[in-house]
Amino acid sequence: MLEISNAKIAQVVLMVREGRRAAPELRGLFERMTEEEVLSLVVVMWIGRGSFQTDEIPEAVEEALGRDAPLIDYLMGTPHLSDHLENGADALGVRLTEDEDDLIRGG
């Protein structure tokens, strides 16, 4: 149901950890993503912060689709985004460690 690769989630996590210096690149990455990928990131983040459970993905998607603010701006302004994404991925049974290691090594 979620339309984003583990590698893209890992890439976002790493860029968020870079902080302000990576903000323009992070926004650029979000802007190159499909609408479905950005939506999926929001859902993973909400699961990670406990706003929704893994069995509530359809409800989370519906909520995200109904937001007035642009989802990219919402993600850019979310405190602890990398932690929430990692927690959400874990809750969904996705381990990002290998993808993060590949990105760090340039693979």
Q: Is residue 21 part of a domain?
A: yes
For residue range 2-35, list pLDDT tens digits in order: 899 988 998 999 899 888 888 999 999 999 999 9
Q: For residue 100, tell me if it sits in a domain.
A: yes
Residue 97 pLDDT greater than 60, yes or no: yes
Neighbours of 79 (CB within 10 A): 7
Structurally, the chain folds into a number of domains equal to 1
Distance CA 96, CA 21 (A): 23
Q: What is the pLDDT of residues 32-57, one digit of tens each?
A: 999 999 999 999 999 999 999 999 99
Question: Does residue 45 lie in a domain region?
Answer: yes
**Which DSSP helix (H) or strand (E) runs through 32?**
helix 23-32
Question: Does 20 fall in a domain?
Answer: yes
Whether 1 maps to a domain, the answer reads no
> What's the burial of 12, exposed, middle or buried (CB within 10 Å: 0-12/13-18/19+)?
buried
The model's pTM is: 0.89
Residue 83 lies in a domain: yes
Q: Which pLDDT value is given to residue 107? A: 56
Range of the domain at 57: 6-105
CA distances 13 to 61, 65, 96, Å, are 21, 23, 9
- Residue 68 and residue 26 in contact, taking contact as beta carbons nearer than 8 Å: no
Which residues are within 8 A (CB) of 75 and not within 5 positions of it... i.e. 6 or more apart?
30, 38, 41, 42, 45, 81
